[in-house]
Chain A
Amino acid sequence: MSERYLIEYLSRDSERLPAMRNIYRPHLMTVEDIRDETPDVRTLRLAFQDQAVGESFAFVPGQFGEYSVFGAGECVFAIASSPADRGHVECSFKLMGKVTHALRDVEIGDTVGFRGPYGNGFPLESLRGQNLFFAGGGIGMAALRALIEYCLAHRQEFGHITLLNGARSVADLVYKEDMVRWAEQPDVQLVRTVDPGGETADWDGEVGFVPAIIEKLAPQPEGTVAITCGPPVMIKFALLTLERLGFPQERVITTLENKMKCGLGKCGRCNVGPVYVCKDGPVFTAAQLQALPRDF
């Protein structure tokens, strides 16, 4: 804002002052589709009510938004839909607190709010030409979904793709339909795993925690970038496993899920060391994380 604002004000009519830009004002979105992924994970498909905004809206996979239910508040989720899907965003959320409970109660046709995109997104340039090894646990898959969709849409730009999807139990596996679609793509290997005890009688996937399956799959570090997201404890061990397999820290990418409120590096909530996860993240390489204090 111009330093001369006051002078402008003093010299003219206040009515002619530029309208305020409100960084906290969300876009209004219409709920177009509701899909239950698991008993406590749901995906919403949201359409921009203002078509012009929808047309111009673009984002990088890995970026996130502040989704809000008016009356309950705002909550942060990754944008889970494909960047090519113009005019819409999708989010997947797990039932947790006040906002997610309110989101669970929305019906098709209802209005919710969306602010974004925020954050840095995945470093697409450094991924091109590489084999990609995705390892997602539980709701963490949501943060990878946009990137997976992007990579599959630009299939020729990337090498071999491995999708490792883990969950506590078979019922808790997300994106079951997407997985089928993704696995049909050329040169895509889909591995699904559930925690020991979470398997069903007819389960034909792996049984074991995600890091153990990474170990078992033993992806070749050369020419491969590993991208992982999941619960904090999974990420911790997945990073260790990948390191053991010989992945250099620069080629291991993860996204952090701190509590965030403003999304713009102001509210201070996601401050970890010198970075704000909302502005400088949420995507970090293991090397970048290594440099941060263990405060996330």
Chain B
Amino acid sequence: MSDDNWRPQIVAFVCQWCTYAGADLAGTSRIKYDPNVRIVKLPCSGRIGPLFLLKAFEQGADGVLVSGCHPGDCHYVSGNLLARRRFTVFRELLIFLGLEPERLQFSWVSAAEAVKWTEVVDAVTAQIRALGPRRQGWGAEARLQTSNSKAQSLEAQPGTRNLKPGTQKAVEEGIRRIARQLLQTGEAGVIVGYGNGTLKDVTTPLFVTEPEGVEQLVWNERCLNNLSVYLTREPVTRLGRVGIVAKGCDARALVALLQEHQIERDKVTIIGVQCAGMAENGRLAARCAVCDVHTPPLYDHLVEDRALDTGDWAEGDPRDREIAALEALTPAERWAYWQEQFARCIRCYACRAVCPLCYCETCIADKTQPQWVPPAFDARGNLSWNIVRAFHQAGRCIGCDECARVCPAHIRLDLINRKLALLIRDAYGYRAGYDATVAPPLTTFRPEDRAEFIR
């Protein structure tokens, strides 16, 4: 694979109480090991953020090792257990994007385990040496190398089901009736709903403040926008108490916003709408094919759709087949697939803007001290941005797919979101947007959390 003189560049992020002390003990005990690892000392593995690992790879690391105290031994009670969940998710994300698992490794090494430390370093170094230098440039050229890869033949498989739009007119009337009532009684100062857009077959977010205006509210299979994004927008909230038209997926976003203290329940009136599914390119949208919230999980008023046909979902989510196909590829092929996708990114941040859960006024991508996400819109910066976006959504994304819908470059953000949602469902039994009283999965842990990837 590579010549004998090649020395991989490996950085180890370690906690100061266990692994750092263990490495010191290896020194005191004069146990020899491979000299390729550079240690960055941190107070706790809980302080080791995914951004560090990302930056290390960006800077040219061939491998990254993270090491902390054994479960239960954390000097700070539970930092390593929180870290374990973060790293589980982050690692799977990077693997999904095509990183070889050997390049990002984790271990528990206690202050007493000098020998283990040396063994871990030697083993990790040997594995990375066997892999050879990382594909150039954390992006950039990789996509050019494999232009004929299998990955490129992977094409979006839209839902094959036809729409069964339900009784749209009746639902529309129901929305208008409730909206009118809310405005008349003063229960709401503004209704956030859908109106007809300026182009054929397009709806647009509509803000109605007068009872007469409710006639402009519409309901059809093109009401794709997740309107809950407006609940954290001052130009809308200053109009008064908000009444919001919410499909099931939109209501899940409301649950998540409640969970993260971004809205107050008693300051929002939710007009829940039973939804039969929305259309993309005339077919049922992929996410709607496996929808289990035709009736919103949270509402104050419910507009029922009497003709609601929730259909036979046996077909499953077409995206799951795509994810499986991607996962069947080699890391190099997967990497090439995503590089090609991210290369198209123009950093317009539409994905961020439409996301109800991207409510930070100053995004980490806009923070410059330090500049974790490279500012240039090149392969390196785009990759980091997309990874950071995906990771910040992990365990929080409610799967409305708005980011993927609005992406002008058609980057398959939905696949990444879905992949992480499945991972978190399987690993932690958690799905976002159903229960505001449960702690989000990356803010908590269980002692028995999966750890099979940790040395």
Chain A residues engaging chain B, CB cutoff 8 angstroms: 73, 97-98, 101
Bound complex: CA of A97 vs CA of B368, how far in Å?
Answer: 9
CB distance from B314 to the nearest CB of A (A): 54
Bound complex: CA of A73 vs CA of B375, how far in Å?
Answer: 12
Chain B residues engaging chain A, CB cutoff 8 angstroms: 368-369
A-B pairs, top 6 by smallest CB distance, nearest first, are: A98-B368, A98-B369, A101-B369, A97-B368, A73-B368, A97-B369
Complex: chain A residue closest to B375, CB-CB: A73
Complex: chain B residue closest to A102, CB-CB: B369
CB distance from B175 to the nearest CB of A (A): 39
CB distance from A102 to the nearest CB of B (A): 9
- Residues of chain B lying within 8 A (CB to CB) of residue A73: 368
- Residues of chain B lying within 8 A (CB to CB) of residue A101: 369
Bound complex: CA of A188 vs CA of B353, how far in Å?
Answer: 55
- Residues of chain A lying within 8 A (CB to CB) of residue B368: 73, 97-98
Best-surrounded residue of A97, A98, A101 (most CB of chain B within 10 A): A98
- Residues of chain B lying within 8 A (CB to CB) of residue A97: 368-369
Bound complex: CA of A101 vs CA of B368, how far in Å?
Answer: 12
CB distance from B393 to the nearest CB of A (A): 27
- Residues of chain A lying within 8 A (CB to CB) of residue B369: 97-98, 101
Bound complex: CA of A112 vs CA of B177, how far in Å?
Answer: 66
CB distance from A18 to the nearest CB of B (A): 28
CB distance from B372 to the nearest CB of A (A): 13
CB distance from A201 to the nearest CB of B (A): 38
Complex: chain A residue closest to B367, CB-CB: A98
Bound complex: CA of A241 vs CA of B266, how far in Å?
Answer: 48
CB distance from B135 to the nearest CB of A (A): 27
Complex: chain A residue closest to B368, CB-CB: A98
Bound complex: CA of A97 vs CA of B371, how far in Å?
Answer: 13
A-B contacts, 6 of them at CB < 8 A, read A73-B368, A97-B368, A97-B369, A98-B368, A98-B369, A101-B369
Complex: chain B residue closest to A73, CB-CB: B368
Complex: chain A residue closest to B371, CB-CB: A98
Complex: chain B residue closest to A99, CB-CB: B368
CB distance from B328 to the nearest CB of A (A): 44
Complex: chain B residue closest to A72, CB-CB: B368
Bound complex: CA of A255 vs CA of B444, how far in Å?
Answer: 54
- Residues of chain B lying within 8 A (CB to CB) of residue A98: 368-369
CB distance from A31 to the nearest CB of B (A): 21
Complex: chain A residue closest to B369, CB-CB: A98
Bound complex: CA of A101 vs CA of B370, how far in Å?
Answer: 12
CB distance from A104 to the nearest CB of B (A): 13
Bound complex: CA of A98 vs CA of B368, how far in Å?
Answer: 7
CB distance from B301 to the nearest CB of A (A): 42
CB distance from B334 to the nearest CB of A (A): 34
Bound complex: CA of A101 vs CA of B369, how far in Å?
Answer: 10
CB distance from A235 to the nearest CB of B (A): 27
CB distance from A11 to the nearest CB of B (A): 32
Bound complex: CA of A73 vs CA of B369, how far in Å?
Answer: 12
CB distance from A64 to the nearest CB of B (A): 22
Bound complex: CA of A98 vs CA of B370, how far in Å?
Answer: 9
Bound complex: CA of A73 vs CA of B368, how far in Å?
Answer: 10
CB distance from B100 to the nearest CB of A (A): 32
CB distance from A213 to the nearest CB of B (A): 37
Complex: chain B residue closest to A101, CB-CB: B369
Bound complex: CA of A73 vs CA of B370, how far in Å?
Answer: 12
Complex: chain A residue closest to B370, CB-CB: A98
Bound complex: CA of A98 vs CA of B369, how far in Å?
Answer: 6
Bound complex: CA of A97 vs CA of B362, how far in Å?
Answer: 14
Bound complex: CA of A133 vs CA of B210, how far in Å?
Answer: 54
Bound complex: CA of A156 vs CA of B369, how far in Å?
Answer: 49
Bound complex: CA of A129 vs CA of B2, how far in Å?
Answer: 79
Bound complex: CA of A183 vs CA of B260, how far in Å?
Answer: 59
Bound complex: CA of A74 vs CA of B168, how far in Å?
Answer: 56
CB distance from B306 to the nearest CB of A (A): 52
Bound complex: CA of A98 vs CA of B367, how far in Å?
Answer: 10
CB distance from A238 to the nearest CB of B (A): 31
CB distance from A10 to the nearest CB of B (A): 28
CB distance from B35 to the nearest CB of A (A): 30
CB distance from B97 to the nearest CB of A (A): 29
CB distance from B123 to the nearest CB of A (A): 37
